[in-house]
Copies of this chain bind each other. A is one copy, B any other.
Amino acid sequence: MTRRFDWVKLENFCEEIFHKAGLSRKDAKTVAESLIEANLRGVDSHGVVRSYIYLRRIHEKMINPNNEMVVEVDGTVTLLDGKNQMGSVIGKKAMELALAATKEHGTGIVGVKGSNHFGTCAYYLEEAIKEDIVMFVFSNASQTMPPTGGIRPFIGTNPFSFGAPTGNHPPFILDMATSEVARGKIINAFNKGESIPEGWALDKDGNHTTDASKALEGSVLPMAGPKGYALSMLIDILSGVLTGSGFGKYVNNMYENWVNPQNVGHFFIGIDISKFMPVDVFKKRIDKYLDEIKAEPKKRGIKEILIPGEIEYRSKQKRRKMGIELPLKVEKELKEWGKIHDVDLEKALKERQ
């Protein structure tokens, strides 16, 4: 039976493990926050399930949690060399630099090289939104999707994200992979013995397939065909080509490559709302926009028109109260790492199951 964990206690557990694995207390807290935030928002694919691989890469010296990052600021533009630190530690630093530049200049751009998998983009957007800054966050990723017309993975499912504050609504948070679906959905179909819809994936020979097992040997397709392919490329151009980081095949797979660091790149663009209009006026305007969309007539069977980030916001409210349910496999992995570092996962259990 799966069990539920208290989010604060589970965050403390993760912080403790990462601290004992060699991260500073502050950095361990950042990593733990990023993971738990994903679970709270219902994006379990980027939650504590990733602890295992992060810890293993630290252990195998594929990540160097004590390296000093290098910051070069030139006016509104900052180049951050992550020096192969933990991805979310680098991401948080980039976000802080982007916020500082944006507040000073009206806009701020931070390009990041030499990074690792940095969790969900939404984690960084939320910090910007608290400060009434509109922000884009992009990251490249290791090869998963073929170019349009190709048959094997070349580009990553490079995430595209954007956040804006609101008045009475949950913040507007768009955080999406540029693939048609998350690979996790194909894994789920496989586990259930179900087929997948045409258009999700190619088999290893580059043919369209509805067979989940063949799809897992092949590649995930970009969203909306050539449009998703192009969006993924632009993210690679900004995050990888322009920053001096890896791009295309030079972004290494964190599960498969145990020789080289990942060399992921990220790209942050901040925009100061107050340069356009008072923040409260903006918030009234965006609320009006969202009110009007939500009031649109709905298809039969649809209860509500949702705005990006709304489902995740509700999940967060709910899971803060009810706890975070962990699959048995994830619980087992955390328990094992807990033993290695002498931290007890049982203490993080939600009292009422």
Docked pose: A227 CA to B249 CA in angstroms = 26
Does A285 make an interface contact (CB < 8 A)?
yes
Docked pose: A238 CA to B135 CA in angstroms = 11
Does A348 make an interface contact (CB < 8 A)?
no
Give, as a whole number of angstroms, the nearest-CB distance from A109 to chain B: 5
Smallest CB gap from A287: residue in B: B241
Docked pose: A227 CA to B130 CA in angstroms = 24
Q: Are A276 and B174 in contact (CB under 8 A)?
A: no
A308 proximity list for chain B (CB < 8 A): 226, 230, 233-234
Q: Are B151 and A305 in contact (CB under 8 A)?
A: no
Q: Are A242 and B273 in contact (CB under 8 A)?
A: yes
CB < 8 Å: which of B231, B233, B302 contacts A172? B233
CB < 8 Å: which of B240, B275, B296 contacts A74? B275
Chain A 44-76 residues near chain B, CB threshold 8 A:
74-76
Does A82 make an interface contact (CB < 8 A)?
no
CB < 8 Å: which of B106, B150, B292 contacts A296? B150
Does A194 make an interface contact (CB < 8 A)?
no
Chain A 164-192 residues near chain B, CB threshold 8 A:
164, 172, 174, 176, 180
Chain A 120-163 residues near chain B, CB threshold 8 A:
134, 146-152, 154-155, 160, 162
Q: Interface SS of chain A: helix, strand, loop or mixed?
A: mixed
Q: Are B149 and A304 in contact (CB under 8 A)?
A: yes
Q: Are B223 and A77 in contact (CB under 8 A)?
A: no
Assuming the A-B contacts A242-B134, A299-B150, A305-B147, are A269 and B269 also in contact, with contact meaning beta carbons closer than 8 angstroms in the complex? yes
Smallest CB gap from A160: residue in B: B231
Assuming the A-B contacts A147-B293, A174-B231, A305-B147, are A237 and B286 also in contact, with contact meaning beta carbons closer than 8 angstroms in the complex? yes
Docked pose: A203 CA to B151 CA in angstroms = 35
A285 proximity list for chain B (CB < 8 A): 241, 247
Does A43 make an interface contact (CB < 8 A)?
no
A227 proximity list for chain B (CB < 8 A): 176, 223-224
Q: Mark A283-296, 1 if CB is under 8 A from B, else 0.
A: 00110010011001
Q: Are A106 and B77 in contact (CB under 8 A)?
A: yes
Give, as a whole number of angstroms, the nearest-CB distance from A159 to chain B: 11
Smallest CB gap from A285: residue in B: B241
Assuming the A-B contacts A77-B107, A105-B105, A248-B289, are A149 and B237 also in contact, with contact meaning beta carbons closer than 8 angstroms in the complex? no
Greatest chain B CB density within 10 A among A77, A238, A293 is at: A293
Q: Are B289 and A236 in contact (CB under 8 A)?
A: yes
A276 proximity list for chain B (CB < 8 A): 77, 79, 111, 242-244
A306 proximity list for chain B (CB < 8 A): 148-149
Give, as a whole number of angstroms, the nearest-CB distance from A234 to chain B: 5
In the complex, 18 of the A-B residue pairs with CB atoms within 8 angstroms, ordered by the A residue number, are: A74-B106, A74-B275, A105-B105, A105-B107, A106-B109, A134-B238, A150-B293, A151-B297, A154-B296, A162-B234, A164-B237, A174-B230, A176-B230, A206-B297, A206-B300, A237-B286, A241-B286, A243-B276
- Ranked 4 nearest A-B pairs via Cβ: A77-B106, A77-B275, A223-B224, A149-B302
Extra contacts besides A77-B272, A149-B299, A233-B293 (16): CB < 8 Å: A74-B106, A75-B105, A79-B275, A109-B271, A149-B298, A150-B299, A152-B296, A176-B230, A226-B308, A234-B308, A240-B289, A242-B277, A242-B282, A243-B276, A248-B293, A269-B269
